[in-house]
Amino acid sequence: MSGLHDGRWSRPARRAIAEELPEFVASTMLELATGALREDPRRVGKPLHELFDGTSSASRATLRMILQHR
């Protein structure tokens, strides 16, 4: 086993990456999701408040990605 974590993009997130976000934002989010986040989500992200149990966030510069764990 490689130890890499797989994830899925929600439909709105896929649409935003493909059509709505500026290219530099989309490429930064894709780089985060396919790189450091995939290798070790706990190192890159942090859990959100207990109200949002099962959810964490990861960020690069001023950009933030919300992750839902299932």
Residue 29 resides in a domain: yes
Residue 21 resides in a domain: yes
pLDDT of residue 1: 40
pLDDT of residue 2: 52
Residue 53 resides in a domain: yes
For residue 42 the two structure tokens come to: 């706990």
- What CATH number does residue 30 fall under? 3.30.2310.20
Domain span including residue 62: 11-68
Residue 5 resides in a domain: no
pLDDT above 70 for 11: yes
pLDDT of residue 4: 66
Residue 49 resides in a domain: yes
The whole-model pTM stands at 0.70
**Long-range pairs of 18-25 with CB within 8 A, sequence gap ≥ 24:** 25/63
Domains contained in the chain, number: 1
Residue 47 resides in a domain: yes
Tens digit of each residue's pLDDT (9 = 90 or more) over 27-41: 999 998 888 888 887
